[in-house]
Amino acid sequence: MRRATKLAVGLASAGTTWVVGLVVAGYAARGCVVERTTTRLGESLDATVALEDLELSLVRGQVGLGGLVIDREHDGHLHVRIDRIDAGIAPLGAYLWNRDLGQVTVAGVDIEVTAWAVLKIKPPKRKPMVMDHLTIDGARVVFAPTSVTGDWGKATLQVTRAEAGPTILRTPMSWLFALERLDASLDLPGIAPVTLHFEGGRLEASGSVFGATPIAIDVTLPVPEPGHEGRQLADLGADLAERLALARAERLLRRVLP
């Protein structure tokens, strides 16, 4: 009985010491974690990464990032600014050997892309970041193919909310391949804004250009190919635009023809 009591006390003491050590390590290692995070992201995305603030709890398994900026200048320009990221990590210090992320919540995202080729990123030397689930609240994605065309060449996607499943973060847009839900609006040059809703593999588009009733099409997201994700997204966007246009034309013909 005494031996069991001593063992229990010893285990409790060791557990307390471990937790206290993790709390102290979390504060002490903040600078190292910032450097490791920016370095790993920079290697994964082949980009320059800066981070303004980081909060780390090794005990609870939570990390918070503030003011994350990513810039890439290869075959075009990519600029990403994220106000806040909160991510779940392995608790009780397991993050020290398991760096994958659990639930990730992102708020306040600004992305500018001048060419899809800028997303053609070579596979990194180390394993890229992996996340179980992603939620984005409030994002703006601007695609401007060249500076010559000005606003006429810009396409702007305003995301109210997006949810994605398990994602390997090879590019800042990799989550689109695991998209589960999307509420957004799309602004194209010379066209009235289009409201988009995606869920359950089905995309609904509404707006004055489509009439009072939304147009819906089935969507099968492609399997991401490392190094070719940018081209895959460009092809997917072109395919969806064409199918929506054909569905609209078919609806108009049905109204006109007997």
- Residue 197 sits at the vertex; the CA angle it makes with 195 and 198, to the nearest 5 degrees, is 145
Asked whether residue 81 carries a pLDDT value surpassing 80, the answer given is yes
How many domains, in total, are found in the chain? Answer: 1
Structural domain including 206 reads: 2-256
Kindly report the number of other CB atoms within 10 A of residue 203's CB atom: 20
pLDDT at 5: 42
The predicted-structure confidence for 104-149, as pLDDT tens digits, reads as follows 899 999 988 888 777 777 666 667 778 889 999 999 988 877 544 4
CA distance 227 to 124: 10
CA distance 124 to 45: 8
The predicted-structure confidence for 144-156, as pLDDT tens digits, reads as follows 775 444 555 678 8
Beta strands, E only, the chain: 48-57, 62-73, 77-88, 101-113, 130-143, 155-164, 167-168, 179-188, 191-199, 202-207, 211-218
